[in-house]
Chain A
């Protein structure tokens, strides 16, 4: 038998049927749903008069629309409230487990799946959300789908998909101080562009990736979609097993041992061929920041913003106009109005710890509005247990309640028009954080540094002072 990639192994094992010159019927092990992309799918089932086929493999939470303060009170926005209430009703009617507002497991769908141990190696996982790629950090095939596909999965536990091509991204070497996983992925996207991975499924590998914690791996897989890829995975290893071991829904006892043995076999064969390959060196990566309106428009923090080349189609000119930034100039020193630390990219306990460590005993700049939104109730609880909330609050950062929040501004957490926000989220599209808002994507460290100084800063300078 020919050598296979890990992606091929997992995919092929889940194929129920292949349509001639068409897609394949792919069996789905876990289906996560949330309030925004599920209501129309439930309506579809009702119209057809059919149930959710495998409700026990379906997990729901409310995250996109929820307020991040006073979650015990009714949601003020009538449309948001209706959407969240619709999810509650649908889950009751169709027998789907819901970790809704007030539940100790509630949080951003891509944070709770892994931290509860629902996300496991070797699985196929889908959700009506493009950042489903996050779960791939555990060595599984996880990808975002549209609402018609959500309905397919609800109805049959399968989805019709064309098998993507494979793309290997290898990163080797030791990271420079002040450089974290968000910088790695922003660096990769800047090189490959926002469409560089389209039609492909990524396997991230190499010594740098292997050295990362699960939280850091999730940040990288999360942003696979920002280079257009269907998803991104990382072969499971001891770090993966160690993380999962104590999680509520992880297998226990003898079952655990058996599973770990199975999971250990989940890796690409040594001679497996990928359709595309890229190699990066960790030492070439510096803290990253974006200047434009797609995540591929990123630079090392000390570099100049590129100059438009006169080609109007390139979009750079349009982006810089929207951002009110000038090509050929540095971003360092540019003023900052908002700092958002949160989203399915960077809202896990490790992210909060990084920020707390950096801002401990310091104060944010007076003019900066600094918001920290934990990814889940579990993360919030852990942060409070470790006293991070006290450190953050003393530094002027507001620790809010979990949700997607200012990543996409569906609730009231928005960045006002024309304001600059250094954000740990995943998208700097026009208006993403609020109409006219100007988003600069960066790591939690770079975001925290911007909050302290009130301007775009090189976190390494701040760390030098301390050393």
Chain B
């Protein structure tokens, strides 16, 4: 897992609520047995027209909207537990997703892949959408150490929550399995206490 510290990047705007994981990666592209190669089909049915050509209306196909941060409407990542959604976003190059609300399983999957879910207030999100619509070149700065997100050049800053365990994992590129494997003795003792 890649380490995460500070991110300073333009953003890609997806101003829809309830973006579900079937939109992020449709089920028909879940047939791979590896973790790679899902970026091609990220937002597949919104991104491509029926003839397979890119839909110029969709944000990922617009030159002005590039960046490592995806900003999306409330309740991002709802629906299926498919981690392929997080893999596809990471494969495509996203390092953080900003929304005013995340679905639980998606949030865990994102964190387990070094993709930082930044939960902001509805008000902050609305302002980010409004400003970036007019000035897509403006950059978002995400500072994990200080748990702070700001729109550079605008007086718009907010703090975000993350538990200190997950923060430590992201900053150091550690994953949960290493942590759990170190707890084997405790786990076995727990099992014996039940027997």
Contacts and interface: CB of A to CB of B under 8 A. Distances in A.
Interface of A: 16-17, 19-23, 25, 27, 36-37, 39-40, 43-44, 48, 50, 64-65, 77, 79-80, 82-83, 86, 128-130, 132, 144-149, 151-152, 155-158, 160-162, 164, 194-195, 198-199, 225, 228, 230, 294, 296, 312-315, 318, 408-410, 427, 429-432, 435
Given A146-B86, A152-B177, A162 B81 contact: no
Nearest to B17: A315
B80 A195 contact: no
A282 B7 CA distance: 51
Most B CB contacts (10 A, CB to CB) among A43, A156, A162, A430 go to: A156
B186 A25 contact: yes
Contacts of A429: 20, 22-23, 79
Closest 7 CB pairs of A and B: A22-B165, A146-B83, A39-B33, A79-B31, A146-B109, A148-B112, A144-B81
A408 B27 contact: yes
Interface of B: 15-18, 20, 22-23, 26-28, 30-35, 45, 73-75, 78-84, 86, 101-105, 108-109, 112-113, 163-166, 175-177, 179-181, 183-184, 186-187, 190-191
B190 A149 contact: no
A252 B39 CA distance: 50
B180 A158 contact: yes
Nearest to A156: B180
10 contacts: A16-B186, A86-B33, A152-B176, A155-B181, A313-B73, A408-B27, A409-B28, A410-B30, A431-B23, A435-B45
B22 A37 contact: no
Contact of A146 (B16, B27, B105, B165): B105
B105 A410 contact: no
Contact of A156 (B104, B109, B187): B187
Contact of A37 (B23, B75, B83, B163): B83
Contacts of B34: 39-40, 43
B22 A427 contact: yes
Nearest to A417: B50
Q: Which of B108, B179, B180 has the most CB of A within 10 A?
A: B180
Contacts of B84: 147
Nearest to B80: A130
Contacts of A195: 18, 74-75, 78, 101, 103
Contacts of A427: 20, 22, 79-80
Best-surrounded residue of B33, B34, B83, B163 (most CB of chain A within 10 A): B33
Nearest to B179: A160
B17 A144 contact: no
A22 B84 CA distance: 25
A43 B33 contact: yes
Given A148-B109, A151-B177, A152-B177, A194 B163 contact: no
Given A22-B164, A148-B177, A155-B177, 16 more contacts: A25-B183, A43-B34, A129-B80, A130-B81, A146-B81, A146-B105, A149-B176, A164-B104, A194-B18, A198-B104, A294-B78, A313-B16, A314-B17, A315-B16, A409-B27, A427-B79
A25 B28 contact: no
B152 to A, nearest CB: 24
A17 B183 contact: yes
Contacts of A156: 177, 180-181, 183-184, 187
